[in-house]
A = this chain, B = another copy of it.
């Protein structure tokens, strides 16, 4: 099981704090926005004497309500297609374990969520990655690149849409290309759509379940963690219309007995969240996104494409090695007793040479902290030994 660069940096952040340095966490996907009051209220109102197992596939009323929720997005699934899991993590794990045999391969455009690889390892499967290009805004790599990787071992494609870490939202044309490939080779399409509520450009969110003719191939992964700021509940879902996959997934669900009871109660209540609550959170992300991306692109040598969804961007920095830069930010730098924790992009690529000057930045901090973070980044790039900005400044000085 590989170690992620973020995890290696965590002790440095702790050490910085102990030295009295305030650390702005732009490295994690833990939203700072409030959980819906409906969820907190539901937890307070639990009136049970025994906190029992729930059915292995989840509480029926919750699954029914989720079906209605998906219908609002024109996702045509029924209660029986929805299996509740302990977070999206378990949904991905069970999807891989149920659909893949040891030695099987799945194709993943990258940068990609680092733990997909961990879950593939658990299933004994292998990820074959195709790098998306920051210059293309991290759009889907040419479908021919996917086709080149297809072998008899290839069993599926995994996408995340809107994308973590890039914030990219796949277009209809791109989704159609994926659909045709999935159909041609009869592959599974694992689609992680946990950020569907966060699409900012007016471009449509296209679910894997919107694609005609591959309904039996789609395994959708969902979670309430990001949508409702409920990461701690550990409630996700695996959605499939494929009876055989469903049967396999249920066996894994039964072995682990039950998803968390209280999390399900709170998540079910969250489906009744006030539309104004959802809109406020949405607007907050819209504002932060504009503020952050504008700010990043104003810093000399920094480039960020404009993310269309989720609450991340992958930016290119004028540094030699973003692993080292992120480490240096925590261990050797502070500006007015503050510093920033960024996620080196190397953790989102399987190839060791990719993304070496890229970082993921999550806009899960309020605007004033984002402003400070941007200032810290700008100042850091002026003095970091491996910074091209510093080198340029130095060479100008000697002229």
Contacts and interface: CB of A to CB of B under 8 A. Distances in A.
Interface of A: 1, 3-4, 7, 30-35, 39-40, 43-44, 46, 48-54, 86-87, 89-90, 93, 97, 102, 115, 118-119, 122, 124, 229-234, 248, 251-252, 254-263, 266
What's the number of copies of this chain in the assembled complex?
Answer: 2
A43 B251 CA distance: 31
A44 B262 CA distance: 11
A256 B93 CA distance: 9
Contact of A86 (B30, B48, B229, B234): B234
Contacts of A122: 97, 122, 252, 255
Which 8 residue pairs of A and B lie closest in terms of their CB atoms, listed nearest first? A232-B261, A118-B255, A1-B251, A89-B256, A51-B232, A53-B231, A260-B260, A234-B260
Contacts of A266: 51, 262
Given A40-B51, A234-B260, A262-B262, 4 more contacts: A40-B46, A50-B229, A51-B229, A234-B234
A231 B256 contact: no
A255 B43 contact: no
Contacts of A35: 48-51
Nearest to A251: B1
Contacts of A115: 255-257
A223 to B, nearest CB: 10
Given A40-B46, A51-B233, A87 B1 contact: no
Contacts of A229: 50-51
Given A86-B86, A90-B256, A262 B34 contact: no
A54 to B, nearest CB: 6
30 contacts: A1-B252, A1-B255, A4-B254, A32-B50, A33-B50, A35-B48, A35-B51, A40-B46, A40-B49, A40-B51, A52-B232, A53-B232, A86-B86, A86-B234, A87-B256, A89-B255, A93-B256, A102-B102, A115-B257, A118-B251, A119-B255, A122-B255, A232-B261, A233-B262, A234-B260, A234-B261, A260-B260, A260-B262, A262-B263, A263-B263
